[in-house]
């Protein structure tokens, strides 16, 4: 006989989750398809909770209350806030989709290419900054790089619903495609030839950022039209990947606001 706990855990073996009040609310606002929601018994019923329940009822999404210990077992993060939603895996788009979206929206392309990023918290933070800074798409490789996991969704605070993410088999081939589409490819490196704030991001631009340990790979570095550095005066030789990316994204945003 299958227990209630086993039933719920089996559901979560084949689907991914959205965890936390604000990520779920943003997913609902963005029209994301939600299959079922689990709330912890005793959850604080504040304004956010009320709005979530209102949207769930409006769309006919089933929800139920369970012991918090069960949510702890099915959640991928330790900070689910008593809310875990069962959803289909988040879909990636293609590189061509991102290019077409910029053209359709009549925007000068501004993308971010991530070469070897592995920490889901970094990807989530980058997505959150990308949404705020007007980045039109993120490009990642499909091998040895973090995917769109529940941890990424939680860290992005809902931005995963608004920033297109393209997954490509070969970063260097993707860069070639971007170049053929008229983009200027700028790599962010410790030994870059000019400071990052001297780059003209008003041009169609793809910002390339490397992984947490090794940075941009050698071949990808050679593919870049320009290597730019982030000046530093402290004793630490490099910045966290998401922090470095945020600095460059906001410099691009600053220039384009003018």
pLDDT digits (tens, 9 = 90+) for 18-30: 899 999 999 899 8
For 62, other C-beta atoms within 10 Å of its C-beta total: 12
Most confident of 55-59, 113-117, 181-185: 181-185
Cα dihedral 236, 153, 155, 51 in deg (nearest 10): 160
DSSP structural state of residue 196? G
Nearest to 113 by CA among 157, 69, 172: 172
Q: What is the CATH number of the domain that holds 135?
A: 3.40.1280.10
Give residue for tokens 């007007």: 134
Q: What is the spatial distance between Cα 66 and Cα 110, in angstroms, rounded to a whole number?
A: 44
Are both 166 and 126 inside the same structural domain? yes
Are both 112 and 76 inside the same structural domain? no
Q: Which of 87, 115, 144 is the last residue of a domain?
A: 87
97 contacts: CB under 8 Å, gap ≥ 6: 164, 166
Residue 3's φ and ψ, nearest 5 degrees, are: -80, 170
Are both 217 and 239 inside the same structural domain? yes
Are both 63 and 114 inside the same structural domain? no
Q: Which helix (H) or strand (E) holds 227?
A: strand 226-229
Q: Which of 31, 56, 87 is the last residue of a domain?
A: 87
Residue-level pLDDT at 92:
80
Number of domains in the chain: 2
Q: Confidence band (pLDDT; 50, 70, 90) for 13?
A: very low
86 contacts: CB under 8 Å, gap ≥ 6: 11, 12, 15, 17, 34, 35, 36, 37, 38
Are both 122 and 40 inside the same structural domain? no
| Residue 186 confidence (pLDDT) above 90 | yes
108, 255 Cβ separation under 8 angstroms: no
Q: pLDDT averaged over the chain?
A: 86
Are both 76 and 101 inside the same structural domain? no
Secondary structure (DSSP) of 135-171: --EEEEESSSS--S-HHHHHHTTTGGGTS-EEEES-H
Are both 99 and 213 inside the same structural domain? yes
Residue-level pLDDT at 90:
67
Q: What Rg value do the Cα atoms of the chain yield, rounded? A: 20
First vs last C-alpha separation in the chain:
65
Are both 121 and 166 inside the same structural domain? yes
Are both 69 and 19 inside the same structural domain? yes
37, 95 Cβ separation under 8 angstroms: no
Report the predicted TM-score, pTM, of the whole model to 2 decimal places. Answer: 0.70
In 64-75, which positions are buried (b, 16+ CB within 10 angstroms) versus exposed (e)? eebeeebbeebb
20, 26 Cβ separation under 8 angstroms: no
Most confident of 2-16, 110-124, 225-239: 110-124
The boundaries of the domain holding residue 220 are 95-257
Q: What is the CATH number of the domain that holds 60?
A: 3.30.1330.30
Greater model confidence, 22 or 90: 22
Are both 137 and 243 inside the same structural domain? yes
Q: What is the pLDDT of residues 46-89, one digit of tens each?
A: 999 999 999 999 988 889 999 988 888 888 777 888 999 988 65
Q: What is the spatial distance between Cα 56 and Cα 136, in angstroms, rounded to a whole number?
A: 29
Q: What is the pLDDT of residues 194-250, one digit of tens each?
A: 999 999 999 999 999 998 777 899 999 999 999 999 988 876 667 888 999 999 999
Residue-level pLDDT at 166:
92
| Residue 1 confidence (pLDDT) above 70 | no
| Tokens encoding 63 | 């929800």
Are both 66 and 134 inside the same structural domain? no
Are both 126 and 233 inside the same structural domain? yes
Q: Residues of the chain with pLDDT > 70: what percent?
A: 91
Residue-level pLDDT at 244:
92
Nearest to 135 by CA among 239, 26, 25, 248: 248
Q: Which of 87, 106, 127 is the last residue of a domain?
A: 87
């Amino acid at each position: 006989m299958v227990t209630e706990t086993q039933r719920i855990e089996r559901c979560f073996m084949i689907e991914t989750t959205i965890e936390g009040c604000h990520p779920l609310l943003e997913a609902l606002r963005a029209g994301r398809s939600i299959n079922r929601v689990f709330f912890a018994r005793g959850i604080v019923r504040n304004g956010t909770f009320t709005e979530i329940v209102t949207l769930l009822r409006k769309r006919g999404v089933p929800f139920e209350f369970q012991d918090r210990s069960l949510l702890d077992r099915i959640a991928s993060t330790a900070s689910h806030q008593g809310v875990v939603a069962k959803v289909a895996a988040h879909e990636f788009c293609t590189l061509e989709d991102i290019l077409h979206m910029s053209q359709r929206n009549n925007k000068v392309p501004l993308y971010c290419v991530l070469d070897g990023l592995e920490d889901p918290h970094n990807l989530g933070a980058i997505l959150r900054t990308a949404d705020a800074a007007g980045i039109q798409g993120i490009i990642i490789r499909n091998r040895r790089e973090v995917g769109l996991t529940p941890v990424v969704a939680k860290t992005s605070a809902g931005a995963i619903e608004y920033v297109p993410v393209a997954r490509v088999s070969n970063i260097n081939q993707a860069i070639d495609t971007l170049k053929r589409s008229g983009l200027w490819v700028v790599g962010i490196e410790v030994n870059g030839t000019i400071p990052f704030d001297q780059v003209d991001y008003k041009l169609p631009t793809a910002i390339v950022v490397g992984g947490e340990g090794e940075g941009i790979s050698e071949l990808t570095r050679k593919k870049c039209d320009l290597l730019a550095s982030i000046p530093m005066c402290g004793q630490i030789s490099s910045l966290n990947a998401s922090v470095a990316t945020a600095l460059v994204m906001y410099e691009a945003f600053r220039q384009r606001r003018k």
